[in-house]
Amino acid sequence: MTVKTRKVANTTVLTVPSNFKVPENIDFEPSINDHGDIIYKRVAQITSKRKEDIHTFMDQFKPVAEYLKDK
């Protein structure tokens, strides 16, 4: 199977074949190697619960960080 680049507005687009079953609205980080190969790596999604846990954790250490910043 091959896919061909195409122009959409100011962007060059590559089609993802449907049999790859890639869901919509998933973030990928593109990179290109020295040979010109394009690599797309999926960006890990953080759930709302995980974000809340991170904020709770950071809030617990905020007083310590404030205390230490002037030392």
Could you give the count of Cα atoms lying within 13 Å of 38 in the half-sphere of its Cβ?
A: 12
Residue 50, in any domain of the structure: yes
| pLDDT for the residue 21 | 94
Looking at the domain assignment, is residue 43 inside a domain?
A: yes
Domain that holds residue 47: 6-69
Q: Which two tokens stand for residue 40?
A: 């797309």
- Whether residue 1 lies inside any domain: the answer is no
Global pTM value = 0.54
Copy the structure tokens of residue 52. Answer: 């809340």
For 18-69, the pLDDT digits (tens) are 999 998 888 899 999 999 999 999 988 788 888 888 889 888 888 888 888 7
Residue 16 in any domain: the answer is yes
The number of domains in the chain is 1
Q: Please report which helix (H) or strand (E) contains residue 61, including its range.
A: helix 48-69
What are the beta bridge partners of residue 66? none
For residue 35, being part of any structural domain is answered with yes
Residue in this structure with the two tokens 């890639």, named with its chain if needed: 22
